[in-house]
Chain A
Amino acid sequence: EIVMTQSPATLSVSPGERATLSCRASQSVSSNLAWYQQKPGQTPRLLIYRASTRATGIPVRFSGSGSGTEFTLTISSLQSEDFAVYYCQQYNNWPPYTFGQGTKLEIK
């Protein structure tokens, strides 16, 4: 089973600043990596798939990069609605599909 490790667990950033979230896989997942956003009490929302492709309707301030075992989600200029929990998920080696434990992005 591939273990996904996200860091940091909590990230405090001011609105308007850049946020960088990391995700590491225990072995290579090629570019088969997705990022999801989950706001309190809401369902997860797909942001990025194939490591760097934005899903339909996702603002350009969200960008993904990386391949193999190291991945990054960058939010270029944080808006108030971006404060949430972010999960990475690999879909290269299955079963099982595995998620990271999440990074909580909070207002500084």
Chain B
Amino acid sequence: QITLKESGPTLVKPTQTLTLTCTLSGFSLTTSGVGVGWIRQPPGQALEWLALIYWDDDKLYSPSLKSRLTITKDTSRNQVVLTMTNMDPVDTATYYCARALVGSCGIGACYSFFDYWGQGTLVPVSS
């Protein structure tokens, strides 16, 4: 059974750095064609993709947030960690991690979608 579970702080103060951990079960990030992404959702709003890391350590970031984000993996612990610096109240959201599965590849690029999602963790940003 494939599951992902997010963990992190219950409250973050403005200017602080957020560190979120996604613990994987039922699959490994050493498997070719697999990645883990982070997506967030402010209350009552749409989904926003943040970052993605693949089995081969290739990393992708949202251009608008790239300067604030770092994604890493620890395959021995089956975990993926996302850090976001300089948090602001507008960053208040539910943060999800999700498995990315490569569905197909073209010339120089592969195309992956999110097939399993964690339950999400709500991160309020407030002083």
Contact = CB atoms under 8 A, between A and B. Distances in A.
Contacts of A96: 49, 62-64
A100 interface: yes
Interface stretch (A14-22, A40-48, A76-84): A40-48
A98 B113 CA distance: 11
Contacts of A46: 113-117
A91 interface: yes
Interface in B72-114: 96, 98, 103-104, 111-114
Contacts, number: 65
B47 A55 contact: no
Contacts of A91: 111-113
Interface residues of B, number: 25
A36 B46 CA distance: 12
Given A32-B111, A95-B60, A43 B47 contact: no
A87 interface: yes
Nearest to A49: B113
Nearest to A92: B111
A98 B49 contact: yes
A94 B116 CA distance: 20
Given A1-B63, A94-B60, A99 B117 contact: no
19 contacts: A32-B103, A32-B104, A34-B114, A44-B47, A44-B117, A46-B113, A46-B114, A49-B113, A55-B115, A87-B46, A89-B113, A91-B113, A92-B111, A94-B60, A95-B60, A95-B62, A96-B63, A99-B48, A102-B46
Interface of B: 37, 46-49, 52, 60-64, 96, 98, 103-104, 111-120
